[in-house]
Amino acid sequence: MRRLLAILALTVIGTPLSAWSNDFRERIHATVADTNTIEADTIAEIEFGREVAARILGSNRLLRNEEFTHYLGLVGNRVARNAGRPELVWHFAVLDTSAINAYTAPGGYVFVTKGALQQMDDEAELAAVLAHEVAHVTQRHIVKALNIKGADNTTTGSLARLVGSVNESTRTAFNQAVDGAVQILFEKGLNHSDEFQADQVGITLLANSGYDPMALVRYLSRIGEAKSESTRVLTMTHPAVTQRLDLLNTLITEEKLADMAGQRSRTRFVNNLDTHGFNSNNTGEQP
Amino acid sequence: MNRHLLTFLIALPFTVSGAETLYVQSAKARLMEQPSFSAPVLTEIVKGDTVDVEQRSDRWIRVNHGLVSGWVPSLLLSAQKPVEKVTVLGEESNVSGTARRRASAVITAGATRGLTADDRLRLDAQEVTNYGALRWVENIAVTEDQIDHFEREGKE
Amino acid sequence: MRRIVLAGLVAASPLATADSNHYNNMLIGDRASGMAGAYTSISDDPSGLYYNPSGIVFAGARNFSASVNAYHVSSTRYKNAIDGHEWERTSSSLLPNFFGVIQPLGKGIVGFSYAVTDSIIEDQDSHFTATSLGDFYININHRDVTNKFGPSYAYAISDKLSIGATLYAHTRNYKLIVNQLTQDTALGSYRLVNSYQEASEFGMEPVVGVMWSPADKVSLGLSVRKTTITSSSAGSQTITSSDAAATATVDSASDDSKRKLPTETRVGVAYFPSNRLLLSADIMHYGATQASGDAYLAKQAVTNLALGMEYYPTRSWAVRAGLYTNHSNTPSLDAAKTTMQEDHIDMMGITLSLTRMTRTSSITGGIGYSRGSGEWQNEATMPIKSVDADSLTAYLSSSYSY
């Protein structure tokens, strides 16, 4: 009997992770939304994202170079308009720090550090990093983790609150959610499967926008060897680079992405960096 | 529980699924001959176009648009019609903060769900947030035409 | 003057009427009630705090609350109670019978809930004329409410396996006041019995649960609970007066023995074939329990079954239906037995509810109806007669996520 229990226990605990997702529990009222709900949700997401973005900019100095930021916006939007969130207006900006990282706030705010830019070799690599961040927003990783939803002002919602006599302090809950998001970005990181998903989706976005999908692999390999202090926050909040590369390479082989001829636009990229005084540290590879 | 009810309950799951129509969410999407980015491109469709699902495989969906059947990355399609761009306007235009604003659904949503303008100013003062910098970022506009042009000239 | 004895009012001991014969009298929970309580392998919302706390980690929203307001009526009809007359006892109560709330805490989800698992409020008077013993009058005031409340915590071991626990405080309050008068005006004789009984108990009920998804769209759930009564007090006072005696007699009794409640094991399976349809089945087993003092008799093991279904014809509307059993924990009556035997009525029920949803809230209106028949006996060695019973619960509930 005891052996039977042991075998049962091992079977139960050993069930492979992510062979299927737990989404089968979600009922249709939660999965399919109507236009009004999408709009309410998006407003809630953008409102929330702005608070998070403002905090990111509070603790990291913004690099105020209009021309370069516009260039960044062109690269970012070129990738983002191939993502499945046509309702968002995307904003891209540079943070003036030597740390190597990129941040996203829900609602379409993406920040990349000067340190990261200086590690990049060509525009495709920049697009790759932005694509990974765009993927976090596309897949709603942060809002799902914190359960950000639009306010429910329908009759049913009001009646439900009346019948249930629930008292809520929305502002407190909201503030806590914002703190939660900041914590996720700077300390805890999203869970690893979210990061792997962002890599996966990111590389698809790259391919779809005409960029060379191998760029993400090249960039990750390079920063995997970078100085440890500048990648401190990155290492804390993301899974190990080797693990990410393994999964990416599997995907690339499956999708035969290496065969695809994508743009790298090295010249344009290097020109933009030099013109705006980024002093690229990279000696550069042959395009 | 009688047999008829049981039969009905068992048959129910199979009657629920039907032909699926999806909408293109991205600016453009290409139908590929094989589920691969390096496969030949059969045709290109744009945001808002509808396609009928024929087959699903991993990260690709085989769809039918008009007379053409091809593979599209599942990322680019969704059961919902693409929505117009949502903007959250009018929040920071009055920096003095305490002036009353025109009540609109957006601002009400913002006020009930988030920090009020007073809170924002206070947080800015404590250097926890920087809305000034955020506004600067939001003022850098990028248009569809500019992106199109940028994409075309993106050669080495 | 002979006594007229009616079921459940005089038993082996004045206090044995405080015993209870069924474990599944009240539908608990917002979504679960519509599905006949076949919820052990679903439990992914505040109602799950009662059935299987491990399920709450799989809730669609991390902050969630639900509450139910119910109107519960029941009726038991004892056939051939007095000289061929049927005697009916009815109870009705209006009460908030469930509330639950969950929110994240640390790496898991914490919750709090309360449930009213039994509520009887009976106020009635009956009058039987011209029986073989004259006129018979009886009035009853009977209240018996069982509450459970307490915190829960659940933790996801993986995205397919979770464990959880609830610690309920269990309280029960019982009160019965019966006045019975038999009189034969022609003979000039009468007998009046006034009886007052009350009992209250307090205990702890830990619930431990586990939830596992062995295959896509399938969920298995298991929960085990046992209530241990930590303190109990019961007392009664019976005053009898008749034309045969110059003074009334007063009989008092008290009993502090703690009722033994069974270990309850619930096993369930749920199948989610699409995002509109959900099917589930639960088996609930209650172990046999021993007698305690004079008030509480030994009880038999009971196995109940529940089947439930939820279907969304549209995104905003959901229909739930279910079937369940509510069997008696008393033995079947045996004509050969010489001691007093308790009623034995096995019940079966059906539930139906309609819900209006938005993405973050829902309102549900539902009903549950159960019916059963069985046997009873006025007094030891008297003929065994038939009895039937039914109960109806109508409820309005809501849930809200934020």
Shortest distance, CA A167 to any CA of chain B (angstroms):
14
* B15 chain-C contacts, CB cut-off 8 A: none
Q: Cα dist. A244→A222, A226, A235, C158 in Å?
A: 13, 16, 12, 21
| Interface residue A183 vs chain B (CB under 8 A) | no
Nearest to B81 by CA among C196, A87, A70, C207: A87
CA distance C15 to C27: 27
Does position B109 have pLDDT exceeding 80, yes or no? Answer: no
Beta-carbon neighbour count of residue A150 at 10 Å? Answer: 21
Which single residue is written with the structure tokens 């924002």? Answer: B120
Type of residue found at A241: V
Answer whether C273 sits within 8 Å of B9, measured CB to CB.
no
Q: Quote the pLDDT of residue A190.
A: 67
Mean pLDDT of chain B: 70
Scanning every residue of chain B, which has its alpha carbon at the shortest distance from the alpha carbon of C274? B13
Scanning every residue of chain A, which has its alpha carbon at the shortest distance from the alpha carbon of B36? A255
Most confident of A150-154, C51-55, C382-386: C51-55
| Interface residue B16 vs chain C (CB under 8 A) | yes
**Worst-scoring range by mean pLDDT, B2-11, B13-22, C170-179?**
B2-11
What value does the mean pLDDT take over residues C15-21? 67
Shortest distance, CA C333 to any CA of chain A (angstroms):
37
Q: Quote the pLDDT of residue B124.
A: 63
Q: Quote the pLDDT of residue B81.
A: 78
What value does the mean pLDDT take over residues B17-41? 80
Type of residue found at C292: S
Mean pLDDT of chain A: 77
Q: What share of chain C is helix, strand, coil (3-state, %, to 5)?
A: 5, 65, 30
Q: Which chains touch B (3 or more CB pairs under 8 A)?
A: A, C
What value does the mean pLDDT take over residues B102-109? 33
> What pLDDT band is residue A129 in, cutting at 50, 70 and 90?
very high
Does position C153 have pLDDT exceeding 80, yes or no? Answer: yes
> What pLDDT band is residue C4 in, cutting at 50, 70 and 90?
low
Q: Quote the pLDDT of residue C12.
A: 44
A164: nearest CB among C60, C65, C219: C65
Chain A interface residues facing chain C, Cβ-Cβ under 8 Å? 12-13, 15, 17-22, 24-34, 37, 147, 149, 152, 154, 156-157, 159-161, 163-166, 168, 170, 173
Type of residue found at C388: D
Does position A23 have pLDDT exceeding 50, yes or no? Answer: yes
CA distance C228 to C23: 15
Query: Sign of torsion, CA C379 C380 C383 C386?
Result: positive
Q: Facing residues of C367 across strands?
A: C352, C394
Does position B9 have pLDDT exceeding 80, yes or no? Answer: no
Per-residue model confidence as pLDDT tens digits over C87-137: 888 899 888 889 888 888 878 888 889 999 998 898 888 888 877 778 889
Answer whether B86 sits within 8 Å of A213, measured CB to CB.
no
DSSP state of C289: B
CA distance A263 to A125: 10
Shortest distance, CA C39 to any CA of chain B (angstroms):
18
| Interface residue B79 vs chain C (CB under 8 A) | no
Cβ atoms of residues A27 and C276 within 8 Å = yes
What value does the mean pLDDT take over residues C334-348? 89
CA distance B106 to B86: 10
Q: Quote the pLDDT of residue A134.
A: 92
| Interface residue C212 vs chain B (CB under 8 A) | no
Q: Quote the pLDDT of residue A210.
A: 87
> What pLDDT band is residue C288 in, cutting at 50, 70 and 90?
very high
Find the length of chain C. Answer: 402
Cβ atoms of residues C54 and C43 within 8 Å = yes
Cβ atoms of residues B147 and A81 within 8 Å = yes
CA distance C145 to C141: 13
> What pLDDT band is residue A256 in, cutting at 50, 70 and 90?
confident
Find the length of chain A. Answer: 287
Per-residue model confidence as pLDDT tens digits over A64-112: 999 999 999 999 999 998 887 888 899 999 999 988 888 888 889 999 9
Cβ atoms of residues C20 and C142 within 8 Å = no
Q: Quote the pLDDT of residue A166.
A: 41
> What pLDDT band is residue B127 in, cutting at 50, 70 and 90?
low
How many helical (H) and strand (E) elements, i.e. helices and strands, does chain B have?
Answer: 5, 7
The two structure tokens encoding residue C108: 């898991």
Answer whether C276 sits within 8 Å of B16, measured CB to CB.
yes
* C70 chain-A contacts, CB cut-off 8 A: none
Q: Which chains touch A (3 or more CB pairs under 8 A)?
A: B, C
> What pLDDT band is residue A10 in, cutting at 50, 70 and 90?
low
**Worst-scoring range by mean pLDDT, A282-286, B65-69, C361-365?**
A282-286
Per-residue model confidence as pLDDT tens digits over C323-337: 999 999 999 998 888
B16: nearest CB among C274, C279, C323: C274
Most confident of A224-228, A251-255, B147-151: B147-151
Per-residue model confidence as pLDDT tens digits over B54-71: 888 777 889 998 888 999
Q: Quote the pLDDT of residue C36.
A: 96
| Interface residue A164 vs chain B (CB under 8 A) | no
What value does the mean pLDDT take over residues A189-199? 77
Which single residue is written with the structure tokens 């969630």? Answer: C64
Answer whether C363 sits within 8 Å of A31, measured CB to CB.
no
Cβ atoms of residues C98 and C113 within 8 Å = yes
Most confident of A55-64, B106-115, C375-384: A55-64
Cβ atoms of residues C400 and A160 within 8 Å = yes
- Both ends of chain B: CA-CA distance in Å? 72
Q: Please indicate whether residue C209 or residue C186 has the higher confidence score (pLDDT).
A: C209
Query: Sign of torsion, CA B74 B80 B84 B85?
Result: negative
Q: Quote the pLDDT of residue B38.
A: 77
> What pLDDT band is residue A230 in, cutting at 50, 70 and 90?
low
Cβ atoms of residues B105 and B113 within 8 Å = no
Classified as helix, coil or strand, B92 is coil
DSSP state of C348: E
Q: Facing residues of C166 across strands?
A: C152, C207
Q: At what angle do helices A123-138 and A214-224 cross, to 10 degrees?
A: 100
* A85 chain-B contacts, CB cut-off 8 A: 25
The two structure tokens encoding residue A162: 């009346």
> What pLDDT band is residue A284 in, cutting at 50, 70 and 90?
very low
> What pLDDT band is residue A167 in, cutting at 50, 70 and 90?
very low
Query: What does the DSSP assignment read for C112-160?
Result: EEEEEEEEEEEEEEEEEEEETTEEEEEEEEEEEEEEEEEEEEEEESSSS
Q: Quote the pLDDT of residue B119.
A: 61
Scanning every residue of chain A, which has its alpha carbon at the shortest distance from the alpha carbon of B38? A260
The two structure tokens encoding residue C185: 């005006």
Which H or E run includes A279? none
How remote is the C-alpha of A116 from its chain's centroid? Answer: 15
